[in-house]
Amino acid sequence: MISHQTLNPKNSRHKRWVKSTHWIITLSFLALAYSGFFILMVHPRLYWGEAGNSLTPALFELPISRNYHHGGWENKSPFFDDAGSPVSMSRNFAMFNKNSWARSLHFLAAWFLVLTGALYLLAGILTGHFRNHLWPRVSEFRLRLFWRDLINHLRMRIPSATYGPQYGLLQKCTYSVVIFVLLPVTILTGFTMSPAITAAYPFLLKIFFGAQSARTIHFFASALLLLFLLVHVVMVIKSGFKKQIRAMTIGK
Amino acid sequence: MKKNQLISRRHAIITGLASLSGLLLPGCSKKLPPTYGNILRMGDVLTYVAHRTLLPGQSMVREYEYKDISSFPAIGTTNPADPAKWFFNEDYGRLRSGAFADWALSIEGRVARPRSYSLADLQRFPPRTQITRHTCEEGWTAIGQWTGVPLSRVLNSAGILPSARFVNFYTYDGRMDSIDMFDAFHPQTILAYGMNGRDLPVPHGAPLRLRVETQIGYKSLKFLKRIVVTDEFLDVGNRPRGWAWYTGI
């Protein structure tokens, strides 16, 4: 029976390397989201371009800490004599700031994500996992089929779970976007906020339009990843929670 | 029936550990900041070693145009002469009222010719002016123009000894921090006495501040008082409230 299942790709199960990388990346992502939220709370303002701070206009501001819309600035002094001169002001209040541990936790978790992610990508290419299971086939990628799959999901008509990587069209597309677009973009925009890394690789500042733009893109890509996590968990529950969790862990 | 896998989990783990230890080995022969058995500090050290091992040496950070200069918040200590604050320093107030004429930066430790440099002494070195982006750990950035003397010139003039590994900075607002020789000799690491074409303002660290452009803003200490060069990492205990020592990220 087991040999029959292994031989038949329709019944193939999740590979062990897929399961272990899945859970390491899940834990890293949760640690990154948690610490990232604390980091964002310290300066909940987002900008576009290279420079952005409390004395320059923001794209938008999030009401997520006491640092939101604060006005604790004094001793305004312009740097130059002309009217529109940039200014310096001194902060006169105590910030909410947990970045001491939040930043270190963020980067520690990022190491696990990046190293595990690199192994996963390598294995995914070498074993044919991406080609066989993840990338939608040209023949199946039809707008009409995609649309139908989407409507079915919105109506919560979710196919019940298999024990392995037999993914639907919408599922394949979503996983591909998460793995090949959203996660790489969050990692690269993360690099773009690093002064040492952008010194070595200045093209990062070009492709993301500057350090603050990279921060804003990092925020939106992370928000989409959180949205994915939410929908993913709902789909796991809808398609048979016990069966799915077993298939992704002990595998029976 | 066991399928012949290209990569087994065991292989992946062994290869992963081997490459990780390969990454750490060159660091082990040198002095590393202590981790105090704290997993977050271990992550910081891994980042430090990875940056020193994997990033190409001494790349210059991006320099901007004059028109890119932005507004610049002054945070942390904005006046060490404020008697209401914990960091109040009487000497600083006196030096400031004398327009820093009596201020001097002492350079000691592992140098052949320890001595003090007045502001005029430092300004006699060939200056360097750079318009760079300040990246604060809080998340904001600001672009400013800095004029000063490259730290490498001052260290060379004091005759830095070959065994020296760290440059430690002490400030008038009671802070202490250090950088390694890689950052100390970076061409854009300067001791700045000018900002945006004028004397360095007090809220930004007058009369002299450090600029470490390859790291996060809090490494660029303001209100410099004393520089001590050491062979060893100067362990001042787990850093206040656990801030990372290396912040190139």
Query: A249 touching B, CB under 8 A?
Result: no
Instruction: State how beta strands B166-171 and B198-199 pair.
Output: unpaired
Inform me whether the pLDDT recorded for B238 exceeds 70: no
B61: its two tokens: 């950070």
Amino acid at position B239, single letter: R
pLDDT in tens, A82-111: 999 999 999 988 889 999 999 999 999 999
> Do the Cβ atoms of A108 and B40 come within 8 Å?
yes
Buried b vs exposed e over A79-101: b needs ≥16 C-beta within 10 Å? beeeeeebbbbbbeeebbbbbbb
Helix (H) / strand (E) element for A31: namely helix A16-42
> Do the Cβ atoms of B139 and A3 come within 8 Å?
no
Closest C-alpha among A13, A17, A24, A32 to residue A182: A32
pLDDT in tens, B98-117: 999 999 999 999 999 999 99
**Cα separation of B224 and B116, whole Å?**
12
Q: What is the nearest CA distance from A155 to chain B, expressed in angstroms?
A: 39
In DSSP notation, A119-158 reads: HHHHHHHHTSHIIIIISPPTTT--HHHHHHHHHHHHTT-P
Inform me whether the pLDDT recorded for A209 exceeds 90: yes
Inform me whether the pLDDT recorded for A22 exceeds 60: yes
Say if residue A201 is exposed, middle or buried (CB neighbours under 10 Å; 0-12, 13-18, 19+): middle
Q: Classify the C-alpha dihedral B208-B212-B213-B216 as positive or negative.
A: negative
ipTM of the complex: 0.92
Q: What is the nearest CA distance from A165 to chain B, expressed in angstroms?
A: 16
Indicate the domain borders of chain A. Answer: 15-41+98-248
Residues of B in contact with A90 (CB under 8 A): 73-75, 78-79, 203
pLDDT in tens, A102-147: 999 999 999 999 999 999 999 999 999 999 999 998 888 889 999 9
> Do the Cβ atoms of A195 and B7 come within 8 Å?
no
What's the average model confidence in pLDDT over B129-152? 98
The 8-class DSSP code of residue B17 comes to H
Q: List beta partners, residue B144.
A: B132
Indicate the domain borders of chain B. Answer: 56-242
Fold of B56-242: Sulfite Oxidase; Chain A, domain 2 (3.90.420)
CA distances in angstroms from B96 to A159, B3, B91, B92, listed in the order given: 74, 76, 8, 6
What's the average model confidence in pLDDT over B4-14? 59
Taking the alpha carbons at both ends of chain B, their separation in whole angstroms is 47
What's the average model confidence in pLDDT over A39-60? 97
Q: What is the nearest CA distance from A162 to chain B, expressed in angstroms?
A: 20
Share of chain B above pLDDT 90, in %: 77
Going by pLDDT thresholds of 50, 70 and 90, the confidence category of residue A161 is: confident
Average pLDDT, chain A: 93
Helix (H) / strand (E) element for A29: namely helix A16-42
Count Cα neighbours of B222 within 13 Å in the Cβ-side half-sphere. Answer: 21
**Cα separation of B176 and B179, whole Å?**
11
Count of pairs with CB atoms under 8 A, one residue in A, one in B: 182
Q: Under CATH, which number does the domain A15-41+98-248 receive?
A: 1.20.950.20
Q: List beta partners, residue B246.
A: none
Going by pLDDT thresholds of 50, 70 and 90, the confidence category of residue B4 is: low
Average pLDDT, chain B: 90
